[in-house]
Amino acid sequence: MLLARDIHDEKTEIFLREGVKLGNKEIDRLSRQGFSGVYILDVASDDIVSDPIITAKEYLTAQRAVNRYMDMAYKSGGDGGVAVSIDEQKSVVIPILETLRAKEQHLLVESIDLKPFAAYEPCHAVMVMVLSIAIGMKMKMSDEQLFELGIGALLHDIGNAFLPENILNRPGKLTDEEFHIVKGHVRQGYEYLMNYYSLSSAASMGAMQHHESYDGTGYPDGLRKKNISVFGRIIAITDVYDALVSKRAFRAAMYPMQAIETVQNLSDRKFDPEVVNTLTEIIAPFPLGSVVQLRSQEICIVKRNYPEDLLHPQVRVYDEKTANSRVIDMHNDPDYKTTRVVKIVEV
């Protein structure tokens, strides 16, 4: 197996380079870093290119910024700190906003963000920002609103810097006292952002409200429905979705199809139904290159997604020895229009 993309560690340094042959030693190193998977080059999918939604440079720049901001917050303890200028914030968010704007007519997440477990927090923050901006674009927000949404999403978990590590990294259930401490982190984060980041109240409020629930059962204020800011309602969903597709201490990563179904099941309870529907428009449930089983029992590899019909992709019957096997266009072929993908399979 040959690696299809560069792999970076939790310090954003090159861990393994694209094209390296993956033997037992490399696989052991990846496993120790906590990667849930990697992209590889193989004969069956040589012609299928699964591009990340933003460039590697943009991703790493934002990840490094999150590492720096979290370190600054941690060292401050919430009292005192160094102000982060609006120009610095824009230097992180605006290039990503411009990349997404250029893809606006075909804004679709078609690859899985295979982040290392050791770098979950900064990678998660970046993807929450990307997904939030993409949803905001679909909702026709202005560029100024999208910047504010993006920076609020990037910094949504800044309050975690003020939580004790034994609580932050606890895999099991928290005690009532510990959960009370956790609930305080969003307000601490809000106050820190307002003091040191020159953010609009909308951006800071979006970060504070990402644990509010549409039915009023969330925290810190138990707000309901449209009493939660639109930024808060968006970040609430993108935070949960990206967590679901990421490897965590207490469970394996879900596939996008599973994560989308989980979010949809919480629509009108935890999440705003309008934002849920918008999320489903920007996430391909079957990423390019993934191997799926059709209801017809055929095992296929996803070759193309149709934004207007994400449940019926173009697929190719899987053959590990060739990229020239039969192609099935579920969107355009009337014989397959009623066929559905049953599940993603591992090969």
- The tens digit of pLDDT for each residue in 166-192 reads 787 676 788 888 888 888 889 999 999
Q: Tell me, rounded to whole angstroms, the distance of Cα 345 from its chain centroid.
A: 21
Rounded Cα–Cα distance for residues 343 and 227 (Å): 38
Torsion of the alpha carbons at 35, 36, 41 and 46, rounded to the nearest 10 = -140
Q: Tell me, rounded to whole angstroms, the distance of Cα 272 from its chain centroid.
A: 18
pLDDT at 265 over 70: yes
Region 263-269 average pLDDT: 97
What local confidence, expressed as pLDDT, does residue 118 receive?
A: 66
What local confidence, expressed as pLDDT, does residue 166 receive?
A: 77
E strand or H helix that includes residue 33: helix 24-33
Provide the sign of the torsion angle of the four alpha carbons 174, 179, 181, 183, taken in this order: positive
What local confidence, expressed as pLDDT, does residue 172 receive?
A: 73
Q: E-strand spans in 61-117? A: none
pLDDT at 38 over 80: no
Region 58-72 average pLDDT: 93
User: CA distances (Å), 337 to each of 133, 295, 316, in order?
Assistant: 32, 12, 15
Q: List, in sequence order, every residue forming a beta bridge with 3; answer none if it has no partner.
A: 40
Compute how many other C-beta atoms are within 10 angstroms of the C-beta atom of residue 188: 19
What local confidence, expressed as pLDDT, does residue 89 receive?
A: 93
Provide the sign of the torsion angle of the four alpha carbons 233, 238, 239, 245, taken in this order: positive
Give me the chain's average pLDDT, please.
89
CA count, 13 A, side-chain hemisphere, 17: 1
Distance separating the N- and C-terminal Cα atoms of the chain: 13
Q: For residues 19-35, b (16+ Cβ closer than 10 Å) or e, as one string?
A: eeeeeeebeeebeebbb
Least confident of 32-41, 97-106, 283-292, 301-310: 32-41
Region 38-56 average pLDDT: 76
Reported confidence tier of residue 165, pLDDT bands at 50, 70, 90: confident
Amino acid sitting at position 275: V
pLDDT at 336 over 80: yes
Least confident of 73-77, 113-117, 159-163, 283-287: 113-117
What local confidence, expressed as pLDDT, does residue 23 receive?
A: 82
Let me know: does 344 contact 290? Beta carbons within 8 Å. Answer: yes
Least confident of 33-42, 122-131, 174-183, 326-335: 33-42
What local confidence, expressed as pLDDT, does residue 63 receive?
A: 93
Q: Cα 294–343–103 angle (5° rounding)? A: 95
Q: Cα 303–135–138 angle (5° rounding)? A: 85
pLDDT at 83 over 90: no
Compute how many other C-beta atoms are within 10 angstroms of the C-beta atom of residue 104: 10
The answer, yes or no, to whether the previous bond of 220 is cis (omega within 30 of 0) is yes
Let me know: does 129 contact 53? Beta carbons within 8 Å. Answer: no
Instruction: Please choose, from the candidates 268, 265, 228, 223, the residue with its C-alpha nearest in 3D space to the C-alpha of residue 244.
Output: 265
Where are the chain's structural domains? 2-41, 56-282, 291-344
pLDDT at 31 over 80: no
- The token pair at 307 is 């934004």
pLDDT at 10 over 70: no
**Statement: the pTM of the whole predicted model exceeds 0.95:** no
Q: What whole-number percentage of the chain has pLDDT above 90?
A: 59
- The token pair at 306 is 């149709």
- The token pair at 35 is 């990667």
Instruction: Please choose, from the candidates 334, 345, 278, 315, the residue with its C-alpha nearest in 3D space to the C-alpha of residue 45.
Output: 315
Helix, strand, or coil (residue 52): coil
Of the candidate CATH numbers 1.10.3210.10, 3.20.20.80, 3.90.870.10, 3.40.50.300, the domain formed by 56-282 belongs to: 1.10.3210.10
What local confidence, expressed as pLDDT, does residue 79 receive?
A: 73
- The tens digit of pLDDT for each residue in 86-121 reads 899 999 999 999 999 999 888 999 987 767 666 789
